[in-house]
Each structure stands twice: as C-alpha cells, then as structure tokens.
Amino acid sequence: MKKIQPSLDQQDIICAETPAPPNAMVVFGASGDLAHRKLIPSIFNIFAQELLDEKFYLLGCGRTKLTDDDFRETAKQAIQESHSGASAKDLIAFAEKLYYIEGDYDDAAFYESIKAKLVLLDKKHKIDGCHIFYLAVPPLLYTQIVEHLGRSTLSCAAESDSRQRARLVIEKPFGRDLQSSTELNDGVSRCFDESQIYRIDHYLGKETVQNILMFRFANTIFEPVWNRNYIDHIQITMAESIGIEHRGGYYDKAGAIRDIFQNHMLQILALVAMEPLALFEADPIRDEKVKLLRSIRPFNLDKLDSFIVRGQYGPGAVDGKQVAGYRDEPDINPQSKTETFVAAKLFIDNWRWKDVPFYLRAGKRLAHKDTEIAITFKQVPHSMFASVGLDDMPANILVLQIQPEEGLSLQFQAKRPGSKICMSTLNMNFNYKSVFLVDMPEAYQRLLLDCMVGDQTLFSRYDSVEIAWQLLMPVLESWENDDSAPYEYPAGSESFPQADKLIESDSRKWRKLAEI
C-alpha cells in the first residue's frame, strides 16, 4: 500500500492508496474525443503518481488508420493539453506503453488480430493479469463489439482467479429506455458476467460525491439527525451555463431526463438517502442503493405537473453574451420538444424519509454552473428570542458542493459582537483545494484505478439501472404522448415559473445558484 500523508494544520491524515495490479487495457475508440480528453490523461496521472503497475500497457483500437508512433504522439498531445507540467521523461516512459491497431468493429478478423496482438504484448510486458476492454464508442456499437469479444473468446478467463478475468467498461447512457437498456444488458451478459461489467458514471468519481458516505457514516454528529425528524427537505441541483456544445445529434434524442436524471441524479440521491451498511464493500453498498431506489414513490401521472416539469431554453444572455435558443442550435430539429431542464419532487417511502420532499433540478444554459446537495434542517420548534423580534429563526443548511469547486459548508446562527441580542447567519466553509493544497483529481482517474484494482463500488449494477428506468419510463411515455411542449425559459435564467411553482407550492424556494 502506498502511503500518502498530506500535512494539515488541524491534524495529519494518513491515506492508503492501492496501486493497480498488473493488467492491460484495450480501448475501442482510442482515436476519439473521450480517449483524447479523459482516458489517456487520466491513465497518465495514475502512472505519474506511481500507482500504475510497471508492466501495464494500453492497446488502442479504432477505425482511424494510425501507427503505434502516430498514436503515441496524439497521446502526448492529449496529456500536454491536460497537464502542462508533465515532464518529458514521464511522457516518453508512458508513451512506450501505448500501442495501436486499426480495423472494422464488425469484422471478425479484426478481433482475431487483437487477440494475436495481445498474446505478443502480454509476452513482451510479462503480463499475467486481466485484460480490461473499454468501450469509448457510441452506445449503438456496444452490443456489436461485445458479441465479437465473446465469439473470439476474448471475454473468457480463468474462473478460478477473479483477478485474471477480463473486464468490460461501458459508458452511460445504458440504453435510452427500459426496453433498450434490457436488450443491451442481455447482449452484454451473454459474454460477460455482472462481476466483470463496470458501468461507468463519471459523476460518481468526483471527490465530493465519494465523500457523501464518509461524511454521513464516519461522523456521529450527523447520522443521528439524518432523517425525517430533523430534516425539512433536500435539494439536489445540477446547473450548467453551457448549452449542448457539439452534442446536438445525441442530445436531441436524449434530453435532460436520459442524460442527467436517470443516472447522475438518482445515483447521488441514493448515496444521500441510503441506509448504513455493515461493511464498506462494493456489493453491500450497491445493495443499499438498490433498496433506496426501490423505495422512491412512483410519479402520480394524473397530477404529473405537480411532481415533475420540463423546460427548454430559448434565446438569452449567459455571462453577458447573447446565445441562441435550443431550437436554433446546430443539429437540432426546429420543432424539437426535447427538454433541457427538469425539476422534480420525489418522496421516499421508508421509515427514515417518510414525507420528506427531495427537490431535484438539472438544466442547461442557466445563469451559473452549480452542482450541489443542500440539506435544509427543520427550524427550531420555539424561539426564546421572539420578544426581541427574532421569532422566525432561519434553518440550518448543510451544503455539499460538487461543482465548480468541491467543498462543504454549514450555515448556522450565532451572536455577533455588539448589542445584547445581535444575531446573524454564519457559514462554516471547507474547500478541498485550499485545505489539501492540491488540484482535485479527474473523476475518471479514480474510476479507472478502481477498475484496474477490481473494485466495483463506484460503478452501477444493472438492477439499479433497471429500477431508475422503471421509475422514469411512465414520465417519458406521458410526455411523448402529450401534444404540449416544454416550458420555455430564457438562457441565462435560474429557473422558470412552472419549476418555481413545484417547490413554492410547499412554501419553500429553490436555492440561488452559487456564483463561484
């Protein structure tokens, strides 16, 4: 175990990081945008921190014609764009671990070539560990590639040693509805066991998201009040100031429900609300998440607008610049009814959370980028300061900030210097970067290392994916059968009246998006 000891003023903290065992990664779509922006720079980070086994190698697979040297040069460029301080020595050493093979994803001969190449590279690098197959390709290619991996026996491995078993990493979306998700899972499961499948959701690799369980279950001062007796409501916000960028073709077929709610939102909700577990291990954690998701109350379709509303951004201004409306974006149908904003009110029907509302909202082209979880506690039952005008005491609020800066804050009441009764709301803030004096690691870095180690804790199991689709399919079907369009909101706004009504009808308000 490699020991990392950040020195803090408050105390010394010892962290144990497990280096990756010997293995090799095979990346389909290695010449694409995801590999260039995220995967290769993240794997380089693992290498630079001496957590990558020296025998490791990466075989890139793609339809673009490249030599090994061409691929290495593009990899160096990707790393330098992401890490301006990368040393020339590290770049050269890392590039020597990279190889490339070109072919057609639907050609059986391509997979035989991959298989032969892996035999040679395993021998060269003295690898006796597993092969990790990463599908950095459009979802429509998943089943095709997996079937070829099965036919070529690349998905097979010795059953006696789980460390030797091949692993498969697939990116979300895991289908676009319940039927396609089931079909995808059936296709993947014919060649890979669930224990070999790593469904990656990059949000779960973010430090503050990982910290939710630590924060809840490692501190006795919070868990006793983490329930309906003390919490008034919880808000989860995922606001983006950007539009659809260059993803118009994908986004117009997906929308905010499929792109954000079905995965990121519900996975974070599960972490916030799940029950304690006996062991901090992958399956117990994922079991509790599934139990929680099963407890979410189905939407009342007869009163759907009282529980979930959709919006679509129109023309407006963001950061002082005029921007186009969604229907005027490239590759978007001018009559599109795709939602770019969703606000929902959920209830969890179990002992802990009975009648506590969870307000969720996610949207594009909003005033600020802000992803946070805000837990608002109940107000004091009686104010002893009513005689001096303090009869309505503000509630305590705990905020877990995920983006753009990661941290925690606790809002509480305290006396200020001055007159006998001079009280105000104070914020106790904790910022990861300022305390630990390091940049937050890329989410993919955490997830890729976990995959190499064989830890599935932060990866979605299929039953949780299925339950999420079962919850949202009635909403999607209702919208698809409805002639109405999403409510329009101006780009650069924080919300719109119908989304406000969702929470204000309960005498509450959305939190103002943080300007950070």
Active-site residue numbers?
A: 264
223-232, long-range: CB < 8 A, 24+ apart: 223/276, 225/377, 226/352, 227/352, 227/353, 228/352, 228/353, 228/354, 228/355, 228/356, 230/377, 230/378, 231/356, 231/375, 231/376, 231/377, 231/378, 232/356, 232/376, 232/377, 232/378, 232/379, 232/395, 232/508
Indicate the residue type of 483: D
Indicate the residue type of 302: D
**Could you give the CA distance from residue 149 to residue 110 in angstroms, rounded to a whole number?**
10
Please tell me what DSSP assigns to residue 223: G
Please name every residue paired with 446 in a beta bridge, in sequence order, or none if there are none: none
**Could you give the CA distance from residue 477 to residue 467 in angstroms, rounded to a whole number?**
16
Identify each DSSP E strand in 240-300 by its residue range. Answer: none
Task: Give the tokens for residue 341.
Answer: 């904003």
Task: Give the tokens for residue 82.
Answer: 């992401």
For 24, 366, 422, the CA distances from 324, given in Å and listed in that order, are 45, 13, 48
For 79, 295, 405, 437, the CA distances from 408, given in Å and listed in that order, are 30, 28, 10, 16
Identify each DSSP E strand in 123-266 by its residue range. Answer: 130-135, 167-171, 197-200, 231-239
Give 369's contacts (C-beta < 8 A, 6+ positions apart). Answer: 239, 240, 241, 242, 403, 404, 516
Owner of token pair 């759907």: 304
**Could you give the CA distance from residue 389 to residue 383 in angstroms, rounded to a whole number?**
10
**Could you give the CA distance from residue 236 to residue 239 in angstroms, rounded to a whole number?**
10
For residue 301, how many other CB atoms are within 10 A of its CB?
A: 11
Nearest residue to 444 (alpha-carbon basis) of 169, 245, 260, 175: 169
**Could you give the CA distance from residue 412 to residue 376 in angstroms, rounded to a whole number?**
11
